[in-house]
Amino acid sequence: MAFLEIDHVTKYFPSPSGSGQVCIFKDATIKIEKGEFVTTIGHSGCGKSTLLNIIAGLETMTEGGIILNGKEVTGPGLDRMVVFQNFSLMPWMTVFENIRLAVRAAYPDWDREKIAAHVHKYISLVGLKGAEDKRPTALSGGMKQRVGLARAFSIEPKVLLLDEPFAQIDALTRGVIQEELVQMWNATRNTVFMVTHDVDEAILLSDRIMLMTNGPSARIAEIVDVTIPRPRSRDTIIEHPHYYKIRNHIIHFLVRHASHGETDAGSGAEQAGGAAPLVVKF
Amino acid sequence: MATKKDALLISGTLLTLFLVAWHLFTLRQDFDPKGFTEDQLMTMEFNGDIVRTSDGGYVWNPEKEKVKGVPGPLSVLEKARTELEEAFVIKGTNDHGIAYLVLYTVTRFGAGFLAASVVAIMLGVLLGLNKVLFQAVNPYIQILKPISPLAWMPLLLYTVKDPKWTAVLVVFMAALWPTLATTAFGVNSLRKDYLHVAAILQLSWFKRLFKVILPGAAPTIVNGLRISFGSALVAVVPAEMLLGELGVGYLSWIEWNNLDIAGVIFAILVVGVVGVVLDSGFNKLAGLVTYQE
């Protein structure tokens, strides 16, 4: 049994007109192994963030189920920590207090010193030493998300859920933080489920990339295996012969096929709704 | 720094101009007996308009002067001096020194405002967290909110049968609604992200309230408290007047009953000073719990 199983998850929203329901996505199914880094890419409105929130337990699914480590997910919990697109730091708390809130919740029987030491360890891991007593307002977007990452890693969750974590960070800083994330992930080998718009980011970080068709009634059309060996880094990965093949494939899918739900590779046979996604290997 | 100095200078000038103008407009000439017949002078003395001095001349009767026209700044100053000299003297049941009156008013105000704030914040959080309950209760809040707290007074007096507690309850009614409405709004519009983080971290109900919901809604709650504070301060003065409860508001009414207009003006000034002191204290406290987003 896989570590994290997303099994035929379907989500309906009440339609804006008030009558009936709109299907956001249908039959999302994927098995994620322990320590795997899986990314979802799709156009806005395909429901990928909703899927992430469902895994986090923050939203309910209409049909289907999610099984983590043999247990069904029924609500939010400390075993699945989210790194939010808009950081979601408490603005009335300092950097230290924000992370301490999480550490205290995760390790209720630790004493003060142990908690403080743990918080400081993660603050220095993301290079925020000296900013412990600053409030989020005083930090740049990049620094805020470093706090978000430190908070998420500090409680050592079974699954890390990254919801477009670098979308609000300027392009230059984004690259730096992506590398930091790679290093932190290398050290912990958490299971990660990420949602992003950024194809390069997905290739750099992921083991597998799920491509979703456009909503409504979106589905997982393809799963791309990224076989580029690790460790990867931004300046060497682009020299790998598969890099541009994968990149072009994903972009072709997003530009040409996402709206039709057809797949690029393979025989081009029409897929019936609910059919298993095509696995593409490079 | 320079602008602050300029502002201070302008403030000072304005005050001086105002005082000089006030003094000049309320200035009355000394009594001049020229042009009055002996009979007229006797009638005026008989009526108490003028009094005879030891050297045989006439001056305006100082007792009657107090209620004639508006007293000038000097007579108000004189009144203030005597009142402050006797600040801690209790002369009779209804004649307590100004320090006691301030104390009574501040205690009354503080008790009503604090009780109202606690009740309003608790109810507000409850309503803010439960949309259905909020929608159910909101119409009643909207009806009760605009009612002047003084309108409750007869009913409160009839119910509690004690003017002392009625005055506190009037302040309570004045301070309740703005805080209640804004707290419910602040909690309700708290960013969902904060609650999401709290949910993932599995914070207890207690921690969720004190670590996330209350601090998150604090800026909005403080705004509500500020409106409540003002309306309670406005309500406490007429409540004292109508109920005859000793305090700075009642002082103004007593002085009016004494026909001592300088005393009325002094009482008004005391109300202003008490308000400013309470307000600055409130702002200091408010600064501790607000944050920037």
In the prediction, which pLDDT does B66 show?
A: 63
In the prediction, which pLDDT does A268 show?
A: 39
Q: Residue A10: phi, psi to the nearest 5?
A: -130, 140
Whether residue B218 lies within 8 A of chain A, CB to CB, comes out as yes
**Cβ separation of A82 and B201 shorter than 8 Å?**
no
Task: List pLDDT tens digits, range A223-246.
Answer: 999 989 888 888 888 889 889 999
Mind telling me how many Å the CA of A102 is from chain B's nearest CA? Answer: 6
Contacts of A80 in chain B (CB under 8 A): 200
Q: How many CA atoms lie within 13 A of B39 on its CB side?
A: 0
Task: List pLDDT tens digits, range B78-113.
Answer: 888 988 888 788 888 778 888 999 999 999 999 999
Rounded average pLDDT over A93-110: 95
**Cβ separation of B291 and A137 shorter than 8 Å?**
yes
Which of the residues B194, B197, B290 would you substitute to probe the A interface, choosing the one with the greatest number of A C-beta atoms within 10 Å? B197
Task: List pLDDT tens digits, range B18-45.
Answer: 999 998 888 877 777 777 888 888 888 8
Residue A187 has pLDDT above 90, yes or no: no
* Residue A239 to residue A69: CA distance in whole angstroms: 37
Domain ranges of chain B: 28-63, 92-289
**Cβ separation of B215 and A155 shorter than 8 Å?**
no
**Cβ separation of A81 and B200 shorter than 8 Å?**
yes
Residue A212 has pLDDT above 50, yes or no: yes
Contacts of B293 in chain A (CB under 8 A): 91, 137
Which of the residues A92, A104, A151, A163 would you substitute to probe the B interface, choosing the one with the greatest number of B C-beta atoms within 10 Å? A92
User: B183, B220 in Cβ contact below 8 A?
Assistant: yes
Mind telling me how many Å the CA of A3 is from chain B's nearest CA? Answer: 20
Question: Which CATH number is associated with domain B92-289?
Answer: 1.10.3720.10
Q: Are strands A208-212 and A37-41 parallel, antiparallel or unpaired?
A: parallel
Nearest CA in chain B to A92: B291
- Residue type for position B106: V
**Cβ separation of B201 and A101 shorter than 8 Å?**
yes
Residue B157 tokens read as: 């007096």
Q: Chain-wide mean pLDDT for chain A?
A: 88
**Cβ separation of B193 and A86 shorter than 8 Å?**
yes
Whether residue B219 lies within 8 A of chain A, CB to CB, comes out as no
Contacts of B193 in chain A (CB under 8 A): 84, 86, 88
Contacts of A105 in chain B (CB under 8 A): 201-203, 207
Query: For A21-35, A262-276, B129-143, which range has the lowest pLDDT when averaged over its residues?
Result: A262-276
Walk me through the domains of chain A, giving residue ranges and CATH numbers: 4-79+158-281 (3.40.50.300), 85-156 (no CATH)
Residue A272 has pLDDT above 50, yes or no: no
Contacts of A88 in chain B (CB under 8 A): 191, 193-194, 196-197
Which of the residues B192, B194, B196, B200 would you substitute to probe the A interface, choosing the one with the greatest number of A C-beta atoms within 10 Å? B200
Q: Model ipTM? A: 0.87
In the prediction, which pLDDT does A271 show?
A: 45
**Cβ separation of A92 and B193 shorter than 8 Å?**
no
Residue A253 has pLDDT above 50, yes or no: yes
Q: Residue A13: phi, psi to the nearest 5?
A: -110, 150
In the prediction, which pLDDT does B167 show?
A: 93
Residue B287 tokens read as: 């600064």
Residue B67 has pLDDT above 70, yes or no: no
Per-residue exposure over B67-104, b if at least 16 CB sit within 10 Å of its own CB, e if not: eeeebbbebbeebbeebeeeeeeeeeeeebbbebbbeb
Instruction: Compute the C-alpha angle A9/A10/A15, nearest 5°.
Output: 155
**Cβ separation of B199 and A57 shorter than 8 Å?**
yes
Whether residue B202 lies within 8 A of chain A, CB to CB, comes out as yes
Contacts of A150 in chain B (CB under 8 A): none
Nearest CA in chain B to A94: B291
Which residues, 6+ apart, have CB-to-CB distance to A19 below 8 Å?
A: none
